[in-house]
Amino acid sequence: MKRFRRHGQESQRDRLKQELFQFNKTVEHGFPHQPSALGYSPSLQLLAIGTRSGAIKLYGAPGVEFMGLHDENAAVTQVHFLPHQVELVTLLDDNSLHMWTLKAHKGLSELLEIGRFTLTGPPGAPPSVTRVTAVLAHSSGELLLLGTEGGHVFIVEVPGFRELEERNISLDQVASSVPDDYIGRRNLEHVETLQENPVDPNQVVIGYGRGLMVIWNLEKQQAIQHIPATQQLESMWWTEDGGHLLSSHSDGSYCRWMAGGEDMNEEEEEKSDIPYGHFPCKAISKIIQLPTEKGPPFLLFSGGMPRASYGDRHCITVIHSKTHVALDFTSRIIDFFAIRGGPQHTGDPSALVVLVEEELVVIDLQTEGWPVIQTPYLVPLHSSAITCSHHVSAIPLKLWERVLAAGDLQSKHYSKEPWPITGGQNLAPDPPQRDLLLTGHEDGTVRFWDASGVCLCPMYKLSTSGVFHTDADPNDNMNQGTEGEWPPFRKVGCFDPYSDDPRLGVQKIHLCKYSGYLAVAGTAGQILMLELNDEAAEHTVEAKVVDLLQGQEGFRWKGHTQLDVREEPVLFPPGFQPFTLVQCQPPAVVTALTLHSEWKLVAFGTSHGFGLYDYQQWNNVLVKCTLNPSDQLAMEGPLSRVKSIKKSLRQSFRRIRRSRVSLRKHHVNNAAKLQDANARLEAELAEMELAPVQRKIEARSSDDSFTGLVRTIYFADTFLSDSSHNTPSLWAGTNGGCVFAYMLRLPAAERRTDELVTAQPAKEIQLMHRAPVVGIVVLDGHGAPLPEPLEVAHDLARSPDMQGSHHLVVISEEQFKVFTLPKVSAKMKLKLTAVDGSRVRRVGVAWFGSSRSEDYGESGLVVLTNQGDVHVVSLPTVKMQVHYPCVRREDVSGIASCVFTKHGQGFYLISPSEFERFSLSARYLVEPRCLVEVPFRTGSATQRRPQPDGVSSAHRITTQDGEAAEVLQEIQKSLEGEQTSLLENNVKNAVA
């Protein structure tokens, strides 16, 4: 009987767990790591990016995102949309072709792989015969032309990947007709590029690596024209009228050829130019030319820079009429395309989209000066390396608007044009609340991101470096090229990972969303207090030095020096402006930070101790040294400055070398590569066998290094001395398993500015297992975590229960322990490490709402372990609820970067530039929900104008299509404009 009842209870709890917890990885924010291919569909208005790890990502209008992953762990080398269809083809490094489609399912589109294909050559043929080097998705949408390393062109029917052997264009067929006087006729080399005649889909041009271009008639299966270029071919472009061909070459030249009628073999190159000539130039890797309705065409090409002087620049040159600009990008150019205006995407080029290795840059070609359009997604999170992150849920509208306003002032230099890539419909409901993600960066900036929805949009950027004298020279602004410089460079893009002073790095952030106070702490022990000001202001920031050693002897700090504060007034732009600064001495990195805006106190910790600062009176309240006198490592400090100089030197050398190495895409000898890899693997294995990894088993002792490092710091209004009077208190936990509690005495509100805040030591808890304390939480009489400061004052949280007895939860890396208060006696605990060997790396408090009933919810601890698993631990009973594998255990930086939200979601870095968003909550889920419709197809394939390489646009789509696109755009716009309820209904109707 008893057993039955218990069983019933358990299953009830299990059901409840299912209603509360659910694990999903929902969306990846930021810029894909190591992009390797770019594709664009003008008809779908979708952008596709392939990466070196085999991912394929599609982006349309903000919120419209799809992601797919190839099973093969091979780099995506090319992406081509099939014209006017929802399919796309990817070519991988392993020579396999993959067909993907956007399939609508229950009103939402999904990206699915529907086929794969590898060319099989004749038996006994060397692999180069079928090694694909060029792909052309024919405008008919039914054919795929595959040029190979062996110089053949294979024709394949899609989407089924059926080889049409009889239509293949073999090298022999072509070679036989090559004029005898052509120097390279013995070896035409691989097929470098395939292009279709924009006016005659039966004509394609085959460009061979050696330089020869052959116009081929697909129907008659014969060569029409030979264009005997003598330089190594890099790319080709067929002008829109079909009358000319442009070819670009490895010596930095490009040529224009007449693609005239048949049998005109002695075609002279009409024009040849080395734009940055005289001295040897690098290759022009891609060239396109787009006409304008009235006036001269746009000519765009990448590369071609003088090898010696600017060989390391990553440039795209745009020439239109008399304007000539060499856009200088921040990293290697992967690919680019132009978007054309007009309802049928046949008008003047409106925007240039450039994918470089570290960011996506879109340039408005319609506005004077060609300004950059701010990207709503694919933002390089890592424009300076991310050093920490902080999430704030449910931002009050007022603060939100002020931050946005401050951000708008910073983005004045961006184009006013709307985002030009608008494919698909975003059907995701409006996010339930406004969430902010703050990222701290190596260069001392804090970036504010709108993390409410699928798009992680930049809102505002705060720089803390202005307060300090740094090595960086503010006049060293690279944006302005000198007058008359040739080539006419213009810097574009924001990726700038080279920090001049590593001490500026932001390590901890705490924002109070109610008061707008922000605390930012950094690598050199600096803690800046900032407040939001809508006006620019000029003032000096006074620094208060806090000695955390308190006369501890035998100390010699060998780390970096503290930052020099500017003594003259500094002009701060509208936004968050610093008003007071604390500098820890020794200037070790700040390891813990918390802010109590109601009490106007900020507490901070380093590896030497912790302090409490009253930012109303600008007065230091408390300093406590936690240093173990025998801890030499902590005393001397890291030699980080030396290291970072070394590192940056290494980086810059690498950068130079990378640019020197010719970046040929696909001519690497595979066998050599494989051999190389094998040798390396063998060496690694041998090394592993020689020195087996062993681990020392030793109990922790008080003499371990960094036991004094403060890991967590916490404010609570609770019962510290007796059970009838609650008092403000400060709690700090160290690496050595010690918790310090201080009782705070705050003057009454009316005398807050005059009387001093005092802190008295109250308790010291030494955990016997000595594991680092990573979290401290106080629970109220109902077992609920205490609310945030000002939360109750703003009526946004229930006031905590002060009748029942409070509990203290101490989370160490190994255990969760509940103590009673005020008498600290152990009540409950949950052991983690002793049982499964994992350790707590990250912990947060979250509230989980039930997905079934609106009013039920539970608080719990969200935990990420060093094994990469996420756990939910119930409060106040500290029982394991659920656990899911989340991050790979080898991904140390991913685990370290994890940040939890108050509603059971989380973010972690999957690469330096991407956050993965996950959700543990069954109620709150932010994931892309979007629909992409098949473009209208009217008229037969022959009538339609072809579309070379998916990059230029289609020409003769019916007006119907244009109208539809307009309607979609309108819906899109209004959705963005937050005219929610009515339009949402419209959309729903449209979907249904």
Partner 1 sequence: MNKSHRVPSNRSLSAVEVKSKFGAEFRRFSLDRSKPGRFDEFYGLLQHVHRIPNVDLLVGYADVHGDLLPINNDDNYHKAISTASPLLRLFLQRKEEADYTFGTNSLTRKKNTVLSAVLLRPDANRKKPPVLISLPRDFRPVSSIIDVDILPETHRRVRLYKHGQEKPLGFYIRDGSSVRVTPQGLEKVPGIFISRMVPGGLAESTGLLAVNDEVLEVNGIEVAGKSLDQVTDMMIANSHNLIITVKPANQRNNVVRTGGGGGGGGGTASGSSGRSSDSGASYYGYSALSGVGAAASAPSHIIQNFPAGELESDEDDEDLVIEVGGEAEPIRRTLSNYSMPSLPRYEPHLNLRAASALSINRRSLEEEGTVITL
Within 886-925, the residues that bind partner 1 by CB under 8 A are 889
Per CB under 8 A, the segment of 321-329, 401-409, 459-467, 700-708 that binds partner 1 is: 700-708
Q: Are 248 and 234 in contact (CB under 8 A)?
A: yes
Written as six digits, the tokens of 566 are: 């500017």
Cα separation, 456 vs 381, whole angstroms: 9
686: contact with partner 1 by CB under 8 A = no
798/831 with CB nearer partner 1: 831
Q: Which residues contact 926 (CB under 8 A, 6 or more apart)?
A: 26, 27, 428, 431, 452, 453, 454, 905, 917, 919
Does residue number 170 form part of the binding site for partner 1 (CB under 8 A)?
Answer: no
Q: Who contacts 803 (Cβ-Cβ below 8 Å, separation ≥6)?
A: 781
**Distance (Å, whole) CA 530 – CA 543:** 13
Between residue 748 and residue 777, which ones bind partner 1 under the rule CB under 8 A?
760-769, 771
Residue 967 CB: number of other CB atoms within 10 A?
A: 11
584 vs 762, which CB is nearer to partner 1?
762
Backbone angles phi, psi at 893, to 5 degrees: -70, -30
- State which residue, 476 or 890, has the beta carbon closest to partner 1: 890
How far apart, in whole angstroms, are the C-alpha atoms of residue 142 and residue 158? 5
**Choice between 371 and 736, CB closer to partner 1:** 736
Shortest CA distance to 140 belongs to which of 118, 164, 117, 157?
157
Give whole-number Cα distances, 169 to 78, 119, 199, 204, in Å. Answer: 21, 14, 21, 11
Determine the Cα–Cα distance for residues 376 and 420; give it in Å rounded to an integer. 11
Stretch that binds partner 1, among 44-52, 103-111, 822-830, 843-851 (CB under 8 A): 822-830
Q: Is 697 in the site for partner 1 (CB under 8 A)?
A: yes
Longest dimension (CA), the chain: 104
Residue 410's Cβ-count burial label (10 Å; 0-12, 13-18, 19+) is: middle
Out of 230, 702, 805, 958, name the contact with partner 1 by CB under 8 A.
Answer: 702
CA distance 320 to 330: 23
Size of the site for partner 1 (CB under 8 A): 45
CB nearer to partner 1: give 69 or 743: 743
Q: Are the C-beta atoms of 211 and 184 separated by less than 8 Å?
A: yes
Nearer to partner 1, 514 or 740 (CB): 740
Q: Work out how close the CB of 804 gets to partner 1 at its nearest, in angstroms, rounded to a whole number.
A: 19
Q: According to the binding rule CB under 8 A, does residue 944 interact with partner 1?
A: no
CB of 699 to partner 1, least distance (A): 4
- Comparison of 768 and 982: residue with beta carbon closer to partner 1: 768
To partner 1, the closest distance from the beta carbon of 554 in angstroms equals: 12
CB closer to partner 1, 446 vs 621: 621
Sign of CA dihedral 29, 31, 32, 38: positive
Task: Considering the complex, state which of residue 686 and residue 699 has its C-beta at the smaller distance from partner 1.
Answer: 699
Of the candidate residues 250, 302, 346, 866, the single one contacting partner 1 (CB under 8 A): 866
Binding test (CB under 8 A) with partner 1, winner from 5, 278, 412, 696: 696
**Beta-carbon contacts of residue 448 (< 8 Å; ≥ 6 apart):** 403, 407, 436, 437, 438, 458, 459, 460, 461, 462
CA angle 465, 468, 474 (to 5 degrees): 65
CA distances from 627 to 37, 593, 620 (A): 52, 18, 19
DSSP-derived 3-state class of residue 680: helix
Q: Report if residue 831 touches partner 1, rule: CB under 8 A.
A: yes
CA 479 to chain centre: 24
Identify the bridge partners of residue 896 per DSSP, sorted by sequence position: none
Structure tokens at 556: 């010699």
Residues 6+ apart with CB under 8 A from 70: 54, 55, 56, 76, 90, 92, 98, 113
885 near partner 1, rule: CB under 8 A: no
Q: Cite the beta strand spans of 31-165 per DSSP E.
A: 35-41, 46-51, 55-59, 65-69, 76-81, 87-92, 96-105, 108-118, 132-137, 143-148, 153-157, 162-163
**Residue number with CB closer to partner 1 (255 or 887):** 887
Q: Does 692 bind partner 1 (CB under 8 A)?
A: yes
Binding region for partner 1 (CB under 8 A) out of 31-39, 373-381, 561-569, 826-834: 826-834
- One of 17, 185, 244, 700 touching partner 1 (CB under 8 A): 700
CA distances from 912 to 512, 792, 891 (A): 27, 38, 12
Please state, as a whole number, how many other Cβ atoms lie within 10 Å of the Cβ of residue 25.
Answer: 15
Q: CB of 745: closest distance to partner 1 in angstroms?
A: 10
User: Would you tell me how many other CB atoms lie within 10 Å of the CB of residue 820?
Assistant: 16
* Minimum distance of partner 1 from residue 837's CB (angstroms): 3
Query: Per CB under 8 A, which region of 21-29, 66-74, 688-696, 949-957 contacts partner 1?
Result: 688-696
- When asked if residue 705 is in the footprint of partner 1 (CB under 8 A), the reply is no
- Cβ nearer to partner 1, comparing 373 with 713: 713
Residue 871 to residue 860: CA distance in whole angstroms: 10
Residue whose CB is less far from partner 1, 823 or 852: 823
Binding mask 636-675 for partner 1 (x = CB under 8 A): ----------------------------------------
Residue 554 contacts partner 1 per CB under 8 A: no
Footprint of partner 1 on 605-634 (CB under 8 A): 629
Nearest residue to 282 via CA among 662, 601, 610, 644: 662
**Site for partner 1 (CB under 8 A): which residue of 440, 822, 860, 935?**
822
CB of 525 to partner 1, least distance (A): 23
Is 698 a binder of partner 1 (CB under 8 A)? yes
Does residue 834 interact with partner 1 by CB under 8 A?
A: yes
**Cβ neighbours for 120, distance < 8 A, ≥ 6 positions apart:** 130, 163
Nearest approach, Cβ of residue 697 and partner 1 (Å): 5
Q: How far is the CB of 911 from partner 1 (least distance, A)?
A: 23
Please, which residue, 397 or 699, has the CB nearer to partner 1? 699
How near is the Cβ of 813 to partner 1 at its closest, in Å?
9
Cα gap 647→121, rounded to integer Å: 48
First to last CA, the chain: 52
**Residue 833 within binding range of partner 1, rule CB under 8 A:** yes
Nearer to partner 1, 333 or 744 (CB): 744
Neighbouring residues of 174: CB distance < 8 A, sequence distance ≥ 6: 151, 188, 206, 214, 216, 223
By CB under 8 A, tell whether 693 contacts partner 1: yes
Counting contacts by CB under 8 A, is residue 824 touching partner 1?
yes
**In the numeric block, which tokens belong to residue 359?**
């960011």
With binding defined as CB under 8 A, does residue 429 bind partner 1? no
Q: Under the criterion CB under 8 A, does residue 724 sit at the interface with partner 1?
A: no
Measured from the CB atom, the residue of 116 and 700 that comes closer to partner 1 is 700
The C-alpha atoms of residue 190 and residue 117 are separated, in whole angstroms, by 20
- State which of positions 222-281 bind partner 1 (CB under 8 A): none
Q: Which is nearer to partner 1, 191 or 767 (CB)?
A: 767
Among 825, 853, 940, 981, binds partner 1 (CB under 8 A): 825
Q: State in angstroms the smallest separation of the CB of 819 from partner 1.
A: 8
For partner 1, the closer CB: 62 or 822: 822
Contact partners, residue 92, CB within 8 Å, separation at least 6: 54, 70, 72, 74, 75, 76, 77, 98
Q: Which one, 595 or 878, has the nearer CB to partner 1?
A: 878
Single residue of 475, 482, 701, 940 touching partner 1 by CB under 8 A: 701
Q: Rule CB under 8 A: say whether 553 interacts with partner 1.
A: no
Applying CB under 8 A, the residues found at the interface with partner 1 are 629, 692-702, 721-722, 743, 760-769, 771, 814, 817, 822-826, 829, 831, 833-839, 866-867, 889
